[in-house]
Amino acid sequence: MLGNWLKTTILMAGILALFGAVGGMLGGAQGMILALVLGGAMNIFAYWFSDRMVLRMYNAQEVDETSAPQYYNIVRELAQRAQIPMPRVYLIDEAQPNAFATGRNPEHAAVAATTGILRLLSARELRGVMAHELSHVKHRDILISTISATIAGAISSLAQFGMFFGGRGEDRPNPVVAIIVMILAPIAAMLIQMAISRAREFEADRGGAEISGDPNALADALAKIDAFARGIPMQTAEAHPETAQMMIMNPLSGGGIKGLFSTHPNTEERIARLRAMA
């Protein structure tokens, strides 16, 4: 637990330090403030309204103990074990097995699962998955991801508009250095943001295993989801890749050097850590 939280803290400090360095080099105080205000405004809006936007995007339908009794009752039991308010429960009509949590805090949270994951997993495995999602809710990971997205977005804005807010004459940055920073800074910010997301996934695995009391259930579920999800595209996620970090498993089909640019840790390592807990 301490290791993942420490890693998240270091990465958050790193992205803030990067913002300061890029701001000082390109934008000066004026540019830094403008970029942070713009990025902050966009992400404050996302923080308050992204849950409704994402659920609508995936055409998620709210369910209850009458329409989806097993699924709903699993979430209710786990929410009681986690000592958090009962979240709203949604079902997404998608063949790919996946799930996510959203909401700005435990009092305004929602969990969603696809019809594919309900068909694929046993009740025990589904319980492990939903415990993972409720761990995200309990530890306010939406807030952490929003803060990191705010700073990353501000860095990108600063890099794009830095030349306009730099000093004059000798105070202006070297054009070659400025171009390099404008290209590399947003990439560095994105890499740090993704590393934060991976650290939070490890922490949600650990927290979910503790909530459910059954680390092997989540490990078995991850193995199944990983095997099936790769061959089943999720068109909404492909059209809106920014939502991929929310899922328990990366829903995107892209390959390449995905280790660096993935919002999710390696599945085998996740499973190994859970087996070690058991």
Residue 114 bridge partners (DSSP): 92
Amino acid letter for position 266: N
Report, as residue numbers or ranges, the catalytic residues: 133
Burial class (CB in 10 A: 0-12, 13-18, 19+), 131: buried
Distance between CA atoms of residues 20 and 181, nearest Å: 13
For residues 72 and 64, the answer to whether their CB atoms sit within 8 Å is: yes
Token duo for residue 149: 């997205």
> Half-sphere exposure (CA, 13 Å, Cβ side) for 198?
20
Strand 88-92 to strand 99-103: parallel, antiparallel, or no bridges (unpaired)?
A: unpaired
Which SS3 state, helix, strand or coil, does residue 102 take?
strand
Q: Which residue has the tokens 């000592």?
A: 83
User: Within 58-174, where are the H helices?
Assistant: 69-82, 115-120, 123-138, 141-165
Q: Whose CA is closest to 121, among 74, 65, 67?
A: 74
